[in-house]
Structure 1
Amino acid sequence: AEVTTEANPDSVTPASLARLREGGFTRISFGVQSAVPHVLATLDRTHDPARVPDAVRWAREAGFEQVSLDLIYGTPGESMDDWRTSLEQAVSLEPDHVSAYALIVEDGTAFARKVRRGEVVMPDDDETADKYLLADATLTAAGLGWYELSNWARDEAAQCRHNLLYWHGAEWWGVGPGAHSYVDRRRWWNVKHPAAYAQRLAAGEPVEADGEDIDAPTAALERIMLEIRLRSGLPVAALDRAVRAQVPVLAARGLLDVVDERLVLTLEGRLLADAVVRDLTD
């Protein structure tokens, strides 16, 4: 079974990793984000990039079957050379898996307020696309193949089975503060604050904060939005007949291929995935 834990590179030691492995964890994902100090500072990350190789080595020595690295691109002030440095350090460590996500600024955060005030400037779409292309080229050359828009793996065994459940629309139970669950077309989430969560547990009260029922049309829409992200593709049969006429149009534009009755995004299509989804759902 895949049992994953996440960690910051500066929060682990050889002893702590050994205990995690002895406790049954088989996979570890390190929040590397960047190998460049000024980028980490902008992201308010505290670890020293020089610590990352040590953390990866210790995880290997502890016996973890899979080691994954999480990267973020598109941070204000990050140059193309900065991003290249982060990618090159990542592949030099020979990870089994890499996730690379464009920075998303959450509303209500201090970072969002800085963006709104013009204190930091987010990169434009062209720069973000160029960084994605560089990531794909670098990771592919290092033997890591894309299997989801933002995820690359050494082989099928190294793909994150946990996340594949989400992308395939499977059911899951979440345990703990803020955890989400999805069962029988119902999605719900627990209270976020650990103290409130513990208080409800102690009182024998439900820990659910809120939830929503997912009707059939919404479930069908979510399937398209999630499965089109996968290299395994989206079955043509998942589309309403009314929008299937869009398939040859999108294929002619070079945005997707039809392989064994499944829609698979091309590299260009991966850059424009949101637009493809709109065309397949409008």
Structure 2
Amino acid sequence: MVLRSRRGVLQLGGATLALLAGCTSNSNLENRSTTPATDTPTTTSSTTTSRPTTTDSGDVTVENVRATPALVAPNTPDSISTLGERDEQFVLATVAGYGMSIPDRDKFVLETTVDSYPPVDKSFVYALWDDEDGYTSIPDDPLIFSVPKPLNATELSLRWPDGDFAVDEALIQTLTRPPTDFVTELSAPKSVTRGYEASVTLTVENTGSVAGTFVGALNRVGPNVAYTPVTGISLEIAAGESETWTHSYAPSPHSTDDDPAATFHLNWRGGRQSKIIDVEPV
């Protein structure tokens, strides 16, 4: 199942999505994963900046401002998928207060010179997926804003009473990119012997005329588990280019399944692909 967006209806959650942890200014996000170290790192367009500003309630710091065309979030209690329509994208920002308090989340607004966007509502998605912590649901961190894709803007600011934060030009350029198209291929060996590793490989081709970010969510069924999230995937791909991402899977040496197999399901905006790996005895 692929989650679909209801514009402006989304619960705030998660420290960072699998999308997806922060890094230095205007570089790709350095992502975290619960999967083995052989996984190819995922990337998400971002800008990370920190600048304290003073409000009546004390100091407010805005940092780790980033953008993604889709969010990775639970679609059931035991699986993850992506959220966001083709003509939609998300801006996330972490705010912290060093005085008595910070303004309520509904006091923040993301503004261009002609349009304004409030934080998304909390009633649709109850959590985001974080590769390090699993499902996370933190009511006010990060702030999440749904904006059009592409965004028609040359200036963009996060504003609140008595304060503002100018979004970096490089991130604005990312937000002004139109949607692009991807072709995906998920591959895996037919079987793996207990005690050995098998590689699940995702190849994504950007068939459009502009660079874009592919966002996906990988789940596994079996052995010995009905359904479990594996990881979120985010790949920045130039127009006409392809990127390959690999997940290493090592089955447990012990299984109670009569016919053990691991089925991997990739969910993304374009649909779903699956691969089955039979688990053979030693």
Short-chain TM bin: under 0.3
TM-score by length of structure 2 reads: 0.20
Give the structure with the larger helix fraction.
1
TM-score by length of structure 1 reads: 0.20
